[in-house]
């Protein structure tokens, strides 16, 4: 558990294309899933004897199932546009962390077994056999991709490395070679209901304590309800919001917003997790099983609306896939977005003048905003293009007098990942996480130096946890990471509410 030994990259005077260092991250490897975890997800417990055959068959199956995968594997022209766009390549210099280098690990095998030229003249077309070394390279380097999709923004063909990495992980799972971090978490969702493994009584105990804290601090009874049948809104936070800082202050912020809105809401101990790691491992079936809990909770609690908390990839699953995975949601109130993001909800209230906000409560803070990858590049908020960028910023600006954006090529759809997403938020990958955070840290330093920014706000549980861990390596303080809804919660002028 001692701190890993590696050097934190130095800030660069200006961004340059990194010098290649072949294989330097080859040994940076996350722990392999235990047999029980694998089996809970419907995969073989350990590496099967005929793994090569199973892997190739699985790749064949995925190529038929997802046309996009075949297109991505076929169309790369090696133009080089993506090479220096990945934060992991920028931070580690390992060419297999170039998006094209990462894709090629799968592409070479695809060519060998699924194209005529690769079957006949493998050497001429860069086709390679699926050897044990290749399988290990898949395991290591597809778990050094946070599936953030920044590279796809720059690819002239729109090749989506995330989808390739998801396919590779699904193949690895199907041969019994899954990753412990993701699969242990998915197993906990199935067994207990959330990524953390918080049983209902522990959630209730935690929420009661927080209600007391709010009452002590504000003198107002703000409720954080759990499992209350007949509430208007089912609210789904990431379970980290119950458990750690700075997330928990965001949870308090949501509670204050609902309180001021005067609307009945509830969380659920059955669907106590917004996150859905089924997406990270590319497994439609596991993603569906996790999503179904939300449908079940919505029906059981007889709610009219579903709102998601600050969790980046959850919003991608919710916005893009939930209806297909767990729909139809014809039993919900059709006048509202299904589902809705908490930032949309808060923004609507602000627009209607329904929240009394005292911006000066945040005057001791100078804020910048980190666009989380999945929200930025895979979803939308509100009813206008770019709403996922504008709405969180408008919410912040309604609560704070001092807001400054980071450089334009590091935000919006060009945002740099926190470097802990996609199933990489595990201690044994700390070197990858710290090094991959370099470009975001450089952008933060820019606004700290030029605008005296004190806090970086965000709306993703993984981003918050990742940054609180890695910013100290770059000379910042973990307290500089903050939830958007903490800013809201601190600015809200609370009034006693008859319905609470």
User: Rounded to whole angstroms, how far apart are CA atoms 117 and 114?
Assistant: 9
Q: How far is the CB of 204 from another protein (least distance, A)?
A: 10
Based on the shown chain and the rule CB under 8 A, indicate whether residue 146 belongs to the binding site for another protein.
no
Piece of the chain touching another protein by CB under 8 A; list 85-93, 263-271, 422-430, 436-444: 422-430
CA torsion 478→481→482→483, rounded to 10°? Answer: -120
Total residues at interface with another protein (CB under 8 A) = 38
Alpha helical stretches, state H, 230-333: 240-243, 247-261, 284-301, 312-316, 322-326
Q: How many other β-carbons are positioned within 10 Å of the β-carbon of residue 263?
A: 16
Structure tokens at 284: 């439609």
Q: How many other β-carbons are positioned within 10 Å of the β-carbon of residue 164?
A: 26
Q: Which of 2, 10, 116, 124 binds another protein (CB under 8 A)?
A: 2
Q: State whether residue 146 is helix, strand or coil.
A: coil
Based on the shown chain and the rule CB under 8 A, indicate whether residue 197 belongs to the binding site for another protein.
yes
Based on the shown chain and the rule CB under 8 A, indicate whether residue 427 belongs to the binding site for another protein.
yes
Based on the shown chain and the rule CB under 8 A, indicate whether residue 253 belongs to the binding site for another protein.
no
Piece of the chain touching another protein by CB under 8 A; list 147-155, 198-206, 343-351, 434-442: 198-206
Piece of the chain touching another protein by CB under 8 A; list 102-110, 134-142, 204-212, 336-344: 204-212
Based on the shown chain and the rule CB under 8 A, indicate whether residue 1 belongs to the binding site for another protein.
yes
Q: Which of 209, 327, 386, 475 binds another protein (CB under 8 A)?
A: 209
User: Rounded to whole angstroms, how far apart are CA atoms 114 and 119?
Assistant: 7
Q: Which of 92, 144, 194, 260 binds another protein (CB under 8 A)?
A: 194
Quickly tell me which residue has 């969790």 as its tokens: 311
Phi then psi for residue 455, to 5 deg, are: -140, 145
| Nearest of 291, 272, 266, 267 to residue 193 by alpha carbon | 272
| Nearest of 210, 306, 199, 200 to residue 249 by alpha carbon | 210
User: Rounded to whole angstroms, how far apart are CA atoms 122 and 32?
Assistant: 31
Piece of the chain touching another protein by CB under 8 A; list 13-21, 100-108, 323-331, 425-433: 425-433
Q: How many other β-carbons are positioned within 10 Å of the β-carbon of residue 104?
A: 21
Q: How far is the CB of 13 from another protein (least distance, A)?
A: 32
Structure tokens at 407: 């450089």
Q: How far is the CB of 31 from another protein (least distance, A)?
A: 6
Based on the shown chain and the rule CB under 8 A, indicate whether residue 205 belongs to the binding site for another protein.
yes
Say if residues 235 and 309 touch (Cβ distance below 8 Å): yes
Judged by beta carbon, residue 61 or residue 428, the one nearer another protein is: 428
Say if residues 365 and 400 touch (Cβ distance below 8 Å): yes
Phi then psi for residue 367, to 5 deg, are: -110, 140
β-bridge partners, 233: 265, 305
The pattern of x and - marking residues 342 through 381 that bind another protein according to CB under 8 A reads: ----------------------------------------
Based on the shown chain and the rule CB under 8 A, indicate whether residue 481 belongs to the binding site for another protein.
no
The pattern of x and - marking residues 305 through 344 that bind another protein according to CB under 8 A reads: ------x---------------------------------
Based on the shown chain and the rule CB under 8 A, indicate whether residue 430 belongs to the binding site for another protein.
no
User: Rounded to whole angstroms, how far apart are CA atoms 470 and 439?
Assistant: 13
Judged by beta carbon, residue 418 or residue 488, the one nearer another protein is: 418
Max distance between CA atoms of the chain, in angstroms, equals 77
Piece of the chain touching another protein by CB under 8 A; list 240-248, 263-271, 298-306, 320-328: 240-248
Q: How far is the CB of 192 from another protein (least distance, A)?
A: 9
Q: Which of 88, 110, 141, 242 binds another protein (CB under 8 A)?
A: 242
Q: State whether residue 341 is helix, strand or coil.
A: strand
* List of residues 6+ apart from 203 with CB closer than 8 A: 226, 242, 267, 269, 272
Instruction: Please list every residue from 211 through 230 that binds another protein, using CB under 8 A.
Output: 213
Q: Which of 91, 250, 275, 392 binds another protein (CB under 8 A)?
A: 275
Instruction: Please list every residue from 4 through 63 that binds another protein, using CB under 8 A.
Output: 31
Q: How many other β-carbons are positioned within 10 Å of the β-carbon of residue 86?
A: 28
Based on the shown chain and the rule CB under 8 A, indicate whether residue 201 belongs to the binding site for another protein.
yes
Q: Which of 145, 234, 240, 482 binds another protein (CB under 8 A)?
A: 240
How do beta strands 367-369 and 340-341 pair?
unpaired
Q: Which of 163, 170, 184, 490 binds another protein (CB under 8 A)?
A: 184
Judged by beta carbon, residue 42 or residue 209, the one nearer another protein is: 209
Q: How far is the CB of 466 from another protein (least distance, A)?
A: 9
Based on the shown chain and the rule CB under 8 A, indicate whether residue 195 belongs to the binding site for another protein.
yes
* List of residues 6+ apart from 2 with CB closer than 8 A: none
Structure tokens at 351: 């627009």
Residues of the shown chain interacting with another protein in the complex, contacts defined by CB under 8 A: 1-3, 31, 181, 184-185, 188, 194-199, 201-202, 205-206, 209-210, 213, 238-240, 242-245, 248, 275, 311, 425, 427-428, 461-462, 465, 469
């Amino acid at each position: 558990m001692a701190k890993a030994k590696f050097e934190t990259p130095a800030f660069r005077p200006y961004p340059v294309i990194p010098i290649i260092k072949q294989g330097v991250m080859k040994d940076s490897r996350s722990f392999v899933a235990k047999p029980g975890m694998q089996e809970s997800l419907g995969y073989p417990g350990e590496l099967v004897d005929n793994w090569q055959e199973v892997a190739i068959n699985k790749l064949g199956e995925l190529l038929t199932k997802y046309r996009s995968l075949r297109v991505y594997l076929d169309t790369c022209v090696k133009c080089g546009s993506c090479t220096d766009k990945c934060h992991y390549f920028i931070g580690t210099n390992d060419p297999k962390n170039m998006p094209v280098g990462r894709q090629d690990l799968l592409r070479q095998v695809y060519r060998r077994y699924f194209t005529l030229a690769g079957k006949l003249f493998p050497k001429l077309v860069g086709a390679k056999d699926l050897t044990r070394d290749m399988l290990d390279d898949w395991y290591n380097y597809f778990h050094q991709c946070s599936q953030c999709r920044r590279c796809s923004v720059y690819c002239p063909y729109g090749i989506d490395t995330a989808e390739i990495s998801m396919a590779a992980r699904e193949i690895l799972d199907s041969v019994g070679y899954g990753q412990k971090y993701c699969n242990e978490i998915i197993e906990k969702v199935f067994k207990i209901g959330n990524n953390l493994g918080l049983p209902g009584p522990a959630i209730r105990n935690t929420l009661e304590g927080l209600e007391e804290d709010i009452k002590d601090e504000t003198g107002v009874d703000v409720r954080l309800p759990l499992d209350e049948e007949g509430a208007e809104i089912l609210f789904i936070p990431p379970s980290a919001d119950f458990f750690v800082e700075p997330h928990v202050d965001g949870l308090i912020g949501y509670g204050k917003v609902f309180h001021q809105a005067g609307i009945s809401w509830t969380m659920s101990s059955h669907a106590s997790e917004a996150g859905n790691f089924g997406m990270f491992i590319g497994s439609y079936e596991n993603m569906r099983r996790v999503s179904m809990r939300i449908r079940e909770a919505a029906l059981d609690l007889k709610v009219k609306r579903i709102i998601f908390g600050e969790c980046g990839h959850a919003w991608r699953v919710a916005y893009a896939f939930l209806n297909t995975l767990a729909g139809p949601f014809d039993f919900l109130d059709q006048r509202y977005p299904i589902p809705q993001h908490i930032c949309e909800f808060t923004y609507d209230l602000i627009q209607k003048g329904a929240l009394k906000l005292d911006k000066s409560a945040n005057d001791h803070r100078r804020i910048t905003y980190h666009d989380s990858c999945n929200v930025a590049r895979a979803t939308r908020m509100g009813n206008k293009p770019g709403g996922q960028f504008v709405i969180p910023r408008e919410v912040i600006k309604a609560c704070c007098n001092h807001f400054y954006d980071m450089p334009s090529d590091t935000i919006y759809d060009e945002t740099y990942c926190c470097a802990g997403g996609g199933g990489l938020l595990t201690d044994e990958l700390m070197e990858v996480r710290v090094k991959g955070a370099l470009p975001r840290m450089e952008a933060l330093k820019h606004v700290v130096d030029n605008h005296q920014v004190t806090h970086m706000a965000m709306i993703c549980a993984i981003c918050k946890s990742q940054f609180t861990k890695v910013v100290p390596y770059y000379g910042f303080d973990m307290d500089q990471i903050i939830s958007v809804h903490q800013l809201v919660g601190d600015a809200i002028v609370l009034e006693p509410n008859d319905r609470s």
